[in-house]
Amino acid sequence: MLDEQLAPGPTLLPAAAQAQIDALTLSRQPFITLMFDLEHQRRTADAQKNDDEKRAAQQAYQQELTRLAREAATRHLLRALYSPRQLQEQMTWFWLNHFSVFQSKANIRAMVGDYEDTAIRPHALGRFRDLLRAAALHPAMLRYLDNEQNAVNRSNENLARELMELHTLGAGGPYTQKDVQELARVLTGAGVNLTPANTPVARREMQGSYVRRGVFEFHPGRHDFTAKSLLGQPLQQRGLAEVEEALDRLARHPSTARHLSRKLVQYWLSDPPPPALVERVARAFSASDGDIAFTLRALLGSPEFAQGAGRQFKDPMRFVVSALRLTYDDRVIQNASAVLAWLNRLGQPLYGRQTPDGWPLDEAAWSGPGQMTARFEVARAIGSGSGSLFTPAGAAQGTPPPPGSSVPQAPRLLFDQVLQHRLGPGTRAALAQATTPQEWNTFLLSSPEMMRR
């Protein structure tokens, strides 16, 4: 079973879920075309002379960005709920959180779908080096961390700092402020170009170093070509090849192996993570040249995991997804808006972390009284058979669901197969006092046992 989950393969969804994804603009329109069209819409709106027309056009542009972000979140949820490749789904979320971008900055709302689908998801169980490159150089990350403003003699250190502190070496890792400055110089010239022109904009003598891939652009006119060093060693390449060399060095550093292994063990097993297991997982990461699947096999196949699985507290995303999978395993939701609203209420909206550190993984961040009260309300909505889940998005209020899609008042939970052997006496006593099926479902979904992985 573990080998099947770790092996690469397509994401096969129920037909009703796949049909929803296929109908999305993100599925029907290439990313580059979408971005060019949106940039044209933005420029046209800004150029309006009449103030009322300008406001209306700008509002329409912002609404389109929001709609595309909601599409990306809907697609993520449908895969998380219904894909049989649950390990890949959870690792996609893990890496989205590790390489976090905030959707509400600039036009990143239109980019998060492609960011997840081309930078994160294909590499979630692959090699970390490939994942690092794809995430660091995606337009969503370059724009979020202001690397478009990073140019020779006008350094911006945001991306460089987070690449080392958050994405690779870790806070307190073996780097200095000088390393941050040097990496920022390495990254000069990497940015975003939303114009459809195919002609390089660099001077003739620099055109050999100019790179355009979709809306990603490496502009040699903004790059610092002088000699640099990183982590005590000189860099040999120049231009975009120098960026690749620097990412190689960061990805393969022992501190990166330890930093990532600690986060993986914390996510999958416990907080704080056992140091001995972290060290073994880090050795597996280094020995495999950052093979994520190989690294996970060392973690999930460890005696510590066999003995301690189910202890880690669920963050809101895992809580909501697991509750829905338990309740509606054979029914495909038609409207993800309710689920997205629950995640917002629980304080963890998709693509909604403003700071680049990602959502916290520790129990203390998610176990406060306010959070637990909100979880009880979400559990009640799920356990009572929330009809809004099965009303297609955009349907008018009061519109009956399509034929054959009526929702039972009290969904039947997979109690016997999943949770029965884990329930403690307190939960069993609470269930025995339930007076309705809806109340029974609510008590089970909000039980202490459901709060842990």
Nearest Cα residue to 376 out of 441, 326, 305, 303: 441
Contact 401, 391 (CB under 8 A): yes
- List CB contacts of 55: < 8 A, sequence separation 6 or more: none
- Residues in CB range of 322: below 8 A, 6 or more apart: 314, 450
Q: What is the pLDDT of residue 347?
A: 98
Task: Please write the tens of the pLDDT for every residue from 93-108.
Answer: 999 999 999 999 999 9
Contact 312, 452 (CB under 8 A): yes
C-alpha to C-alpha distance for 407 and 424, rounded to whole angstroms: 30
The two tokens of residue 67 are: 């709609």
CA-wise closest residue to 136 among 171, 97, 167, 107: 167
pTM score above 0.85: yes
At 106, the amino acid letter reads A
pLDDT tens track for 58-68:
999 999 999 99
- Give pLDDT, residue 202: 65
Give me the pLDDT at residue 416, please: 47
pLDDT value of position 3:
86
CA atoms within 13 A on the CB side of 337: 11
Confidence band for 396, pLDDT divided at 50, 70 and 90: very low
Q: Is the pLDDT of residue 417 over 80?
A: no
Query: What pLDDT sits at residue 311?
Result: 84
What local confidence, expressed as pLDDT, does residue 241 receive?
A: 97
Whole-number pLDDT of residue 156: 98
pLDDT in tens, 214-227: 999 999 999 999 99
Q: Which residues pair with 213 in a beta bridge?
A: 216
CA distances from 168 to 84, 129, 267, 333 (A): 30, 10, 17, 37
Measured CA to CA, the distance from residue 14 to residue 31 in angstroms comes to 25
pLDDT score recorded for residue 357: 98
pLDDT for 267: 96
Indicate the angle between helix axes 292-300 and 275-287, nearest 10 degrees.
150
pLDDT of 90 > 80? The answer is: yes
CA distance 305 to 265: 9
As separate numbers, helices (DSSP H) first and strands (DSSP E) second, the chain gives: 21, 5
Instruction: For residue 229, give Cα distances in angstroms to 42, 57, 209, 223.
Output: 40, 48, 20, 15
% residues pLDDT > 70 (the chain):
92
pLDDT of residue 453: 86
pLDDT at 410 exceeding the cut of 90: no
Phi, psi (deg, nearest 5) at residue 139: -55, -35
Residue 165 C-alpha from the chain's centroid: 18
CB distance 141 to 99 below 8 Å: yes
E strand or H helix that includes residue 90: helix 86-98
Q: How confident is the model at residue 10, as a pLDDT?
A: 79
Confidence label for 423 from pLDDT (cuts 50, 70 and 90): confident
The answer to whether residues 79 and 339 touch, using CB atoms and an 8 Å cutoff, is no
pLDDT band at residue 395 using 50, 70 and 90 as cut-offs: low
Query: Rounded CA gap, 427 and 223, in Å?
Result: 61
Over 90: is that where the pLDDT of 446 sits? yes
Tell me the pLDDT band of 437, cut-offs 50, 70 and 90: confident
pLDDT at 406 (0 to 100): 40
Determine the average pLDDT of the residues in 343-370.
97
Per the model's pLDDT, the better-predicted residue between 201 and 92 turns out to be 92
Percent of the chain scoring above 90 in pLDDT: 80
Query: What ranges make up the beta strands (E) of 341-440?
Result: none
Q: Residue 401 has what pLDDT?
A: 42
Using CA atoms, how far apart are residues 410 and 387, in angstroms rounded to an integer? 11
Residues 6+ apart with CB under 8 A from 290: 127, 128, 129, 251, 252, 257
- Mean pLDDT lowest among 21-25, 356-360, 417-421: 417-421
Q: What is the CA radius of gyration of the chain?
A: 24
**What is the residue-averaged pLDDT of the chain?**
91
Q: How far apart are CA 93 and CA 351, in angstroms?
A: 10
Task: Inform me whether the pLDDT recorded for 139 exceeds 90.
Answer: yes
Supply angle C-alpha 12, 13, 15, rounded to 5. 120
- Cα 95 from Cα 119, distance rounded (Å): 10
**Structure confidence by residue, pLDDT tens digits, 375-384:** 999 999 998 8
Model confidence at 394, in pLDDT bands (50, 70, 90)? low
What is the per-residue pLDDT across 320-346, written as a single tens digit (0 to 9) for each?
Answer: 999 999 888 778 999 999 999 999 999
Q: Is 96 helix (H, G, I), strand (E, B) or coil?
A: helix
130 and 102 in contact (C-beta within 8 Å)?
no
Helix (H, G, I), strand (E, B) or coil at 329: coil
Question: CA 292, 76, 310, 422 torsion: positive or negative?
Answer: negative
User: Residue 212's CB: how many other CB atoms inside 10 A?
Assistant: 15
- 252-308 pLDDT, tens digit each: 999 999 999 999 999 999 889 999 999 999 999 999 999 999 999 999 999 999 998
Cis status, amide bond into 272, omega within 30 of 0: yes
Residue pointed to by tokens 């209420």: 345
